[in-house]
Structure 1
Amino acid sequence: MNTDVDQDDCWICYRCHKKLELKQVSVLYLGGRFEVELMQCPQCKMVIINEDLALGKMLEVEKGLEDK
């Protein structure tokens, strides 16, 4: 799944001051594990979860689990 984060955007980690890189990361959310491409700090491994992902795909997962 691609989160449509523009790779040309220069995101810098606030903590480490390193340029974030687009990486495949494992995300745990509501008991489920998902592989997602996110911008990640190469040093501390913190990621950016953009608004589209938070309000789109993650909300879909949440609603799907509520329906069960």
Structure 2
Amino acid sequence: MNKQTAGTEPALICEKCGIKLTLGKVTLAYLGSTFPVELYKCSTCGLVYIPEELANGKMKQVEAALEDK
């Protein structure tokens, strides 16, 4: 995905479909647990953009907590 900044909201474009990603509800799953979150996704193919900060921050904390149980 290409990231282009326009104002305060980034314009994220799906590399597969070439259209702008929009915020939408998605369900993340890990080790049998599911988490509803709002992330940028492609309305055509469903590809979801997970920002690096989320992947290395909150998601990493949740992953560690679930693995410790």
Report the TM-score range of the alignment, normalised by the length of the smaller protein. Answer: 0.7 to 0.9
Where do 4+ consecutive residues of structure 1 move more than 4 Å? none
In 2, Cα distance between the equivalents of 1:64 and 1:56?
13
Tell me the residue number matched to 1:47: 48
Larger radius of gyration: 2
The TM-score normalised by the length of structure 1 is 0.81
Tell me the residue number matched to 1:32: 33
The unaligned stretches of length 5 or more in structure 2 are 1-7
The TM-score normalised by the length of structure 2 is 0.80
Give secondary structure in 2 for the equivalent of 1:9. Answer: strand
Query: How high is the sequence identity, in percent, across the aligned residues?
Result: 48
The unaligned stretches of length 5 or more in structure 1 are 1-6
**Bigger relative contact order, structure 1 or 2 (CA pairs below 8 A, ≥6 apart):** 1
**Greater strand share, structure number:** 2
Offset of residue 30 of structure 1: 2.5
